[in-house]
Amino acid sequence: MTNKTLTFDAVSEPPPGPKWKARWDRSWPAYEAWFIGRGGDSGPTKEQCRGAMQRYMPELLPVYDRLVMVAGGSDRAARFLSTWCPPTYLGGCSLAAIADDTDVRLVRNYDLSPDLNEGLLLRSEWLGRPVMGMVEFIWGLSDGINDAGLSIALAYGGRSESGEGFGITTTLRYVLETCDTVEQALVALKRVPSHMAYNVVIADSTRATASVELYPGGGIRIMPKAIATNHQSGKTAADRPAFTCSFERHAHLAQIHPAPRKLNRLFLQPPLFQDRYAEGFGTLFTAEYDPEEGSLGLTLQGTRWEQSLVAFEEGQRIVNYQKNTTGAPITGTPDWSRAAQIDWGAVARDYAEGKGQPIETYLAQVGARQKHAA
């Protein structure tokens, strides 16, 4: 009998060097399998990817070139790291930013399977300014904060269609590397196209907040309140809303009005907090950003880990996500090397129709198909 665990590492490395290379060596085999399995090799060329980076994120181009070099310089690695028109992917999350006359906070829950998160909190100075955040796609960010106090977080927009644009995690990295305020962030988000539908919440040290819907291929809509879950406004239906409880979580966020410093505790309780880890939808961490202090409070299964840009401490936490919704221990060790072969569209349809199975079941189906084919 084994438990699902996720190791969180806090790492500080100003320019990308041996620490980033070690993370690349550890993560790239799984990402490469995902990239190949989801048709990444038929996507844009290395030259097209770099050209898109130069057009939309020229300030970040030297960092991108250095990362490609550190990663070994292969054609596939260069295309993957650009995240220009990447394969599609899904996710969860709840977001909110609240400010009053004296305080401001941005809080997010990150909801996914423990096996599908990198567990890396990275403090860097890639363009000379301190940036700290939770890493995805080895150099992008799902949420973070910079030395100006600008804080940002993303949530999947609930639509699987895609357009010509960048993976959202690279865009969040770009915003924190180049912007100081919510106003500047909105300009950048409007200019840089997203390849899928995403919702983004932003806050800064002037106590400005905003929530934005990003559309596949470009275009944004500023929302009336700085909250977001996993659907968007308009007539397009969200993927698997019954499974993600997106509308229920959004309705809950819309009706609460806590003081900024009390927002975090609400994210540690249902309906925002999710514990369906066996189904691939549990809250892996709750991140509370304080733009005025430049700090992050990371809650991992009830334990708080404090970090800040000026007093960042490297370290490690191992978190055990051992129970599913029935309270029974999760058993077995799934072979996640086959995750790229899962038909994730079918998974989404199953859950939308109330027929979803634990992710291990879909992995077993992949194994059965491979055995039959052999």
CA angle, residues 371, 362, 347, in degrees to nearest 5? 135
Total domain count for the chain? 3
279 or 47, greater pLDDT: 47
The whole-angstrom separation of Cα 240 and Cα 229 is 13
| 238 Cβ neighbours under 8 A, 6+ residues apart | 158, 159, 230, 231, 232, 244, 246, 247
Contact 111/93 with Cβ under 8 angstroms?
yes
Only one residue has tokens 């993957």, namely 80
> Encoding tokens for residue 86?
């990447």
Same domain? 186 vs 216: yes
Q: Are 267 and 312 in a shared domain?
A: yes
Query: What percent of the chain stands above pLDDT 70?
Result: 86
> HSE on the CB side for 283, CA within 13 Å?
24
Which structural domain, as residue segments, surrounds residue 280?
Answer: 94-321
Do residues 348 and 201 both lie within one domain?
Answer: no
Considering the domain boundaries, does residue 270 fall inside one?
yes
Nearest to 107 by CA among 240, 253, 322: 253
72 lies in the same domain as 106: no
Q: Residue 359's pLDDT is what?
A: 55
Could you say which DSSP state residue 334 is in? -
Q: Are residues 190 and 249 in the same domain?
A: yes
Q: Note whether 157 and 207 are within 8 A (CB).
A: no
Domain membership of residue 290 (yes or no) is: yes
Same domain for 149 and 258?
yes
Whether residue 53 sits in one domain with residue 147: no
Residues 182, 302, single domain; the answer is yes
Residue 198: pLDDT band with limits 50, 70, 90: very high
Q: Is residue 209 part of a domain?
A: yes
**Structure letter (DSSP) for residue 116:** G
Structure-token pair, residue 62: 């030297």
| Diameter of the chain measured on Cα atoms | 66
Confidence (pLDDT) at 367? 64
Closest listed residue to residue 110, CA positions, set 283, 278, 323, 321: 283
pLDDT tens digit string along 323-340?
543 333 333 334 444 555
Question: How far are the Cα atoms of 101, 158, 174 from residue 208, in angstroms, in the given order?
Answer: 11, 26, 19
User: 66 CB contacts (<8 Å, ≥6 apart)?
Assistant: 15, 16
Predicted confidence (pLDDT) per residue in 227-260, tens digit: 999 999 988 888 888 889 999 999 999 999 999 9
Whether residues 304 and 362 fall in one domain: no
Position 220 pLDDT exceeds 50: yes
Sign of CA dihedral 6, 11, 16, 21: negative
Give the predicted TM-score (pTM) of the model.
Answer: 0.87
- As a whole number of Å, the CA-based R_g of the chain is 19
b/e map of 302-331 (b: 16 or more CB within 10 Å)?
eeebebbbeebeeeebebebbbbeeeeebe
